Amino acid sequence: MQLSICTDVFGKIPFTEMLDKVKDYGLDAIELTTGGWGGCFFVPSAEELVKNASKRKAFLKEIEARGLKISALNCSGNPLVNNAMGRAHSKTIHDTAELAGLLGVKTIVTMSGLPEAAPGDTTPNWITSTISWPDFNGRNYMRDAVKYQWEVAGKWWQEYAAFARENGVEKIAIEEFPCQLVYNVRSLKKLIEVTGSELGKMIGMNLDPSHLMIQGAEPIAAARALGDKIFYVHGKDARIERGLADVDGLLENLPVDQSAKRTWNYVGVGCGRDLQWWKEFFSVVRMMGYNGYVSLEMEDLTMSTEAGLATSIDALKQTISR
């Protein structure tokens, strides 16, 4: 395995300065955000680089001059909802597939998206309670909503997977982010199913252990269940906050900057699970056949960015399966 980093953590600094920092940290590659919810600080825009060959050449030259590679293009967002955001994110993810093909990048990291609950709605609706009830006047509105959402997802993902394949993309790694239609192993398998037997082969998981931790799942067990559907890995940790989670559970909607009050937080690698756990996690991931990039996504607001990066990189260097 090799170490990469999601470059948004460096904020709005010059592109070359960011690359020098990545090199100084002793990392192997960069994961670049091309739009969606990411900051997109270091890619002018996927559309602009698609259209301008000279800019693409100069862009790649700076990366290659430092011995770095692009591990993936990240365009995480919600392309499924029927509103302006959904249409913008859908365009971005299509532009990203074109750009990936021109840059020779084979893996795209993104999210499944989350539709509205019914035709005509414009707000995404994440249904996590049972759909067995309630009924009203012979209709189960939550069951109908989930059925509709998967119909929307199937249609969009069939089209997009075909488009991505035409542009040379080989793997679409879906991050199992809460508040998306795909948020665990079972829902990933459902997306593969509705995309179809052939195009579904392109879809796997960006296994981000932190998202499973905060849902009460065990990422090591998930890795075993995924097998060869591990397409990419984020090196990111989370901590269930002692005492608070015992009282209020893991369903948490406080803003992320209220760390002291939240029942869980994203933290630097090793600040949630210990290094022995991380060694086992990477050992199992490697045993399942994955030997690609592990990309640090640092979102710890309990310490400075520099401390979070140093802590996480040190932990990952000690634990990944080389």
With 90 as the cut, is the pLDDT of residue 221 above it? yes
How many Cβ atoms are within 10 Å of 318's Cβ, its own excluded?
Answer: 12
Quote the pLDDT of residue 117. 96
Q: What is the pLDDT of residues 38-96, one digit of tens each?
A: 888 898 878 889 999 999 999 999 999 999 999 999 999 999 999 999 999 999 999 99
Give the Å distances, CA to CA, from 7 to 70, 109, 162, 192.
11, 13, 28, 29
Which segment of 110-119, 126-135, 254-263 scores lowest on mean pLDDT? 126-135
At residue 135, does pLDDT exceed 90? Answer: no
Q: How confident is the model at residue 174 (pLDDT cuts 50, 70, 90)?
A: very high
pLDDT at site 136: 84
Q: Which domains does the chain have, with CATH numbers?
A: 2-319 (3.20.20.150)
CB 93 within 8 A of CB 75: yes
Write out pLDDT tens, residues 26-37.
999 999 999 999
Burial class, 107, CB count within 10 angstroms (exposed 0-12 / middle 13-18 / buried 19+)? buried
- DSSP 8-state assignment for residue 241: P
No. of helices (H) and no. of strands (E), the chain: 11, 10
Q: Dihedral angle at the C-alpha atoms of 141, 145, 147, 152, nearest 10 degrees?
A: 160
Give residue for tokens 């140093």. 310
Please give the model's pTM, rounded to 2 decimal places. 0.96
Q: Is 199 within 8 Å of 207 (Cβ atoms)?
A: no
| Closest C-alpha to 168, from 96, 95, 90, 106 | 106
